[in-house]
Chains A and B, each alone.
Chain A
Amino acid sequence: MATPTLDKTDKAEAGFADSPFIMATFRIRRFNPEVSDEAQWQDFQIEIDPKERVLDALHKIKWELDGTLTFRRSCAHGICGSDAMRINGKNRLACKTLIKDINPDKPITVEAIKGLTVLKDLVVDMDPFFQAYHDVMPFLITKGNEPTRERLQSPEDRERFDDTTKCILCAACTSSCPVFWNDGQYFGPAAIVNAHRFIFDSRDEAGEQRLEILNDRDGVWRCRTTFNCTDACPRGIEVTKAIQEVKRALITRRF
C-alpha cells in the first residue's frame, strides 16, 4: 500500500509556497447599452497568483477596481455552467481555467460567448439556447404501466449514454460552432447532446420522435464536424461523436 511521505506530497504545497504573485493584464470586452451602443475593450492590470482561476481574476477586478463589470457565476468549480466565456479566443469556463495555463505574459482577452445576443459585458441571452434544448423533448418518455420498483437497466446499457449525461448546459459547445454563428436556427451541439442522452437510454421509448425532430433542416445534418464543440466542452463530453452517433442512428434507425 502506498503511504504518503513528505517528499512525495509536496508538489501541491511547494507550488503554493513559492508561487510569486504576478502582474497580469485582462483585456475585457465591455458592453452596456445603458451607457453606450458600442462595445469596447478595456484593460485591467491586477496582481494575482497564477494558480488562481480566471473567475478569481474577474472577481478581483469587480471587487477592487470596477464594480460595474458584469458576468454570471455561481459554483466556482465547473459544475453549474454559469460562466462560459471566450478566453484568449477559446470557449472555456472561467472557474475551470487557471491563469497559469493561458499564458499570463500577454494580455488575456475575455469576451462573451458568440452567437447569442450580448446583454451586458459577459452576460448573453440564454433563452434561445434553452429553447433549442426544450425542442428535443429532454425528458424520459415511456409507455405502458409503470413498474412498482425501479426499471431494470444493465450496467452496460447504463454506460451507453453515460457521457452525454454529464452536460451542464453551459453553451460552450453551441457558441463555439461556426454553423450556429451563421444560423441561430440550428439546434446546436448542446441540444443534440441532450437528445442523445435519451435516444441511447434503454428505458426511453421516444427515440424515433426525437430522431425525427433532429432530421429537420435545422437538425443534425447541419453539423460540419469541425470538432470545435468537443474542444470547448468543459465536461470532456465527446460532443462530435455524440452527434455522429445520432446521424448514424438516423440512417440505420438502430439505437
Chain B
Amino acid sequence: MQIHKYDTVIVGAGGAGMRAAIESTKRSRTAVLTKLYPTRSHTGAAQGGMAAALANVEEDNWEWHTFDTIKGGDYLVDQDAAEILAKEAIDAVLDLEKMGLPFGRTPEGRIDQRRFGGHTRSHGEAPVRRACYSGDRTGHMILQTLYQNCVKEGVEFFNEFYVLDQLITEVDGVKKSAGVVAYELATGEIHVFQAKSVIYASGGTGKFFKVTSNAHTLTGDGQAACYRRGLPLEDMEFFQFHPTGIWRMGILLTEGARGEGGILRNKDGERFMEKYAPVMKDLASRDVVSRSIYTEIREGRGCGPAGDHVYLDLTHLPPEQLDAKLPDITEFARTYLGIEPYTDPIPIQPTAHYAMGGIPTNVEGEVLADNTTVVPGLYAAGEVACVSVHGANRLGTNSLLDINVFGKRSGIAAAEYATKSDFVELPENPGQLVAEQVERLRNSTGTERVADLRTELQECMDANVMVFRTEQTIKTAVAKIAELRERYLNVSIQDKGKRFNTDLLEAIELGNLLDLAEVMAVSALARKESRGGHYREDYPNRDDVNFMRHTMAYREVAADGAESIRLDYKPVVTTRYQPMERKY
C-alpha cells in the first residue's frame, strides 16, 4: 500500500473535475484521480449546448435564466444557488472561449446561441436563444478544451485510479475529510491519498437503469463512498428521463434536434406535444415531454409492432441544416438503426439521463454532513453533487453550465482551504475497508454472477421507478433491491488477478449501484407528491405544503450491524420567486 500526500485531491476528470483542477493547480499542489483517461469522461457525450444569457442573438438576461431554472426545477431549486448559476454563466462561457473552445459563431463572429427546452424570454412568454453550442458536440469540445488547459497548466493526473473510499477523521467532535483510498487498475495496488481538501467530481449514476444515455462507467462511486461513511444524499428520487433516446438503446438524440425544429409524432403522424404544452410544444421541459410520450404509448398511439416508441421527425428540415447543426446525432441514427434521418423519422423513447440528486453542498461546493454543518475539507461539484440548482428537474444545457460554474468555485474554495489548513490525521488502517472488499470478492466462491444481478436491477428500475411511479411499483423495487443486495453477498468473479482486473471493478461498481438504487427507491416512496422528474400516479399533484423540501437520506447501522436508511428533510431556499403552477 502506498501513501501519497497532496494539498488537494480531485476525484474525477470530467468537466467538473478538470474545471476545478485548472483552478486548484494554480493555487495548491493538486492530484486528479480518475478511473478513466480524462478525455474518456462522459462530459464528452453532451451534445446540445451550455446555457448563458449572453444576449448575442436576441434580448436576454440572467434574471430570466434564473427564473427558468427555478420553474424548470419545479420550485425545488435553491434560489440563491440558481441566481449564482445564471449570473456566473456568462463568464463561464467566456472563460471557455478564451481557453480555446471553438463555439459556433454568428455572422458577426460572436458566439452563436440556439433554443433549448424550458429556456424562455420574459418568464415564459416564448422560447429564447440561450444555448451556446459547438455543433452537436458541445460536451466533447468542453472536455477537450478543459483537458488541453490541464495539459497547459501541468495538472497531475493519476489515470485509471478508482477511488473507493472516503476517509473521515473526527477532530474535537468535528468530522473532517482526511483523504481518499484508490485502487490502481493497472497493478491492483491500493493507494491512500492524504489530502487537506478532497473534491468529488465523479459524475452520475445512470447505470442502474437499463435504457440510459449514460456510459457503462457511470456507477455513482463518489456518492456511494460518501454515503457509506455516514454522509447524506440529497433528493436522490429525482432522476431525469430525457424524452429522446434511441429506441431500446438509450443513446441520446439531443433536445437541440427539437431546438432546430424537429417534431415528435405518434403513429398517426400527429404532433402530439401540441395537446400537452400548447405554448412550448416539443420544447416543453423534459419531464413534461417524457410523460407525454409515455401517455401516447399507453393510450395505444405508440409506433411499431409493439407500439412502444414514438418518432422524432427531422425529415422536414433541410439536409444542409442537419449536416451543419446535428451531424453526430444523425450519424448515430444511421450507424445504430440503419435509418436515414433526411427521409425517415427516428424511433425514440425516453432514456434515463441525469441525476438531479447527489452529495449535498452549499454554493462554495462544501459538502454538508446534515442540513447545515459542513465537512471541513470536503467538496463536490458536477453531476455527483446537489447544490441544488436543478431541483426536481434540470433544464437542458444547465448541467454543462453547472460543471463549469461549480467546478470552478469548488476548485478555488478547496485550494484556498488547503493552503490555510493542516493535514488531518489519517484514521488507523486507512486502506482496510477497500483491501477487505477486494479480498472478499477475489476469494469468494459464491454462486451469483455480477452481470445477472446488474441486469435484474436495471430491469427492475426501468419497470418500477422510471417516468411513472406508484406506491406499489416503488415497493416492488424496494423489495427487489433488498433481494439483490442479499444475493450480492454471494457474488464471485472469475478474474482473480491483479493486473487490469475489470471483472473485480464491475463487481464493486455493482455494489455502488445497489446502494444508490435503494436510496432512490426509498426516497421516492416517501415523497407522496409529483414534482419534476418524480411523478407519482397515486399523488399526481405537487404538494408544496408537505413536500417543498429536499430529501436527505442517511445510512444507519444498528448495533447488530443491520443497515437501514433514515430520511430527513431540508428546507428549500426561496428568495424572490414564489411557487406557481408550472405550465409550458
Task: Please list the residues of chain A having a beta carbon within 8 angstroms of any beta carbon in chain B.
Answer: 1-6, 8-13, 15-17, 32-35, 51, 62-64, 66-68, 70-82, 96, 98, 119-121, 123, 126, 130, 134, 138-140, 146, 149-155, 158, 161-162, 165-169, 198, 201, 203-204
Contact = CB atoms under 8 A, between A and B. Distances in A.
A143 B515 CA distance: 51
A156 B328 CA distance: 20
Interface string B466-509: 00000000000000000000000000011101111111000000
A9 B311 contact: yes
Interface stretch (B34-42, B80-88, B529-537): B34-42
Which 5 pairs of residues, A with B, have the shortest CB-CB distance? A140-B100, A67-B494, A63-B451, A152-B109, A67-B503
Interface in B94-135: 94, 97-100, 102-111, 134-135
A154 B152 CA distance: 26
B107 A155 contact: yes
A150 B94 contact: yes
Contacts of B451: 63-64
Contact of A66 (B93, B338, B494): B494
A35 B305 CA distance: 50
A75 B41 CA distance: 8
21 contacts: A3-B313, A4-B345, A9-B345, A34-B498, A34-B499, A35-B497, A67-B494, A67-B495, A70-B500, A70-B501, A74-B36, A74-B215, A75-B45, A75-B215, A77-B251, A80-B36, A154-B105, A154-B109, A158-B105, A161-B102, A168-B44
Given A5-B269, A149-B94, 10 more contacts: A4-B313, A70-B495, A77-B45, A80-B40, A80-B41, A134-B151, A139-B100, A150-B111, A158-B105, A201-B102
A130 B449 CA distance: 36
Contacts of B313: 2-4
A161 B110 CA distance: 17
B248 to A, nearest CB: 8
B151 A15 contact: no
B45 A119 contact: no
B503 A68 contact: yes
A12 B316 contact: no
Contacts of B338: 11-12, 15, 51
Given A138-B148, A150-B97, A9 B216 contact: no
A4 B97 contact: no
| Chain B interface mostly | loop
Interface in B308-342: 311, 313, 315-316, 328, 332, 335-339
Given A2-B343, A149-B94, A153-B105, A139 B111 contact: no
A153 B103 CA distance: 9
Nearest to A64: B451
Contact of B347 (A12, A80, A123, A130): A12
A168 B42 CA distance: 12
Interface stretch (B137-145, B292-300, B384-392): B137-145
Contacts of A66: 494
Contact of A9 (B151, B251, B303): B303
A76 B450 CA distance: 19
B242 to A, nearest CB: 14
B332 A138 contact: no
A168 B36 CA distance: 14
A13 B304 contact: yes
Interface in B3-38: 36-37
A70 B335 CA distance: 25
B305 A17 contact: yes
Nearest to B247: A12
Interface in B249-293: 249, 251, 265, 267, 269
Contacts of A62: 502-503
B217 interface: yes
A140 B514 CA distance: 43
Contacts of A162: 102, 135
Contact of A82 (B36, B311, B328, B347): B36
